[in-house]
Amino acid sequence: MTLVTFSLKNVHYSIDVTFVEEVIPLPAITPVAKLPSFFCGVINLRGCAVPIIELRKWLDLEVACHELSNDIIVIKVDKKIMGLIVDKVLSVVDIQDHQIIPPPTMHEDIDIKYISGVVQLDSRLSMLIDLEEILNMADRSLACIDLKLSEISS
């Protein structure tokens, strides 16, 4: 399995690279009224309006001001594209399935329902995000706003 690793609030996280379309520097984000709080708005990515998720907010972490050093991981699942704001993309690593251990039962800073495992990478642990769980919930929220996004694209 290949993972994209990134940081949020000085903690390392990972997602399966098969969902990743590309990584881009943080562009200007256009706010859209009445979106759920974890959606920042949309960006124009080569003529497509892409909804952007503030991953810190989604994981109930302290939200920081966006900086030029932030990245957006553009992901695609079932023909739906979204962007995830992260502090910084760190690396792409290959791991074996046996390197994934079950997530901790409790962690004060992380909503554990979105963590599918933990991976030891060098001297640091990386929380493996259950991207399908996040996307399922985001998809339900997006179903309510698809009309707004299509209006922006036109």
CATH number of domain containing 6: 2.40.50.180
> pTM score, two decimals?
0.82
Q: How far apart are CA 126 and CA 81, in angstroms?
A: 24
- Domain hosting 127: range is 2-153
| Radius of gyration (C-alpha) of the chain in whole angstroms | 15
Q: Is the pLDDT of residue 109 over 50?
A: yes
Helix (H) or strand (E) holding 2: strand 2-8
Count of structural domains within the chain: 1
Residue 59 CA, distance from chain mean position: 10
Per-residue pLDDT reduced to its tens digit, 48-101: 999 999 888 877 788 777 777 899 999 987 788 899 999 999 999 999 999 999
In 3D space, the residue among 4, 45, 31 whose CA is nearest the CA of residue 127 turns out to be 4
Per-residue pLDDT reduced to its tens digit, 119-138: 988 888 999 998 877 777 66
Residue given tokens 């760190």 in the structure block: 90
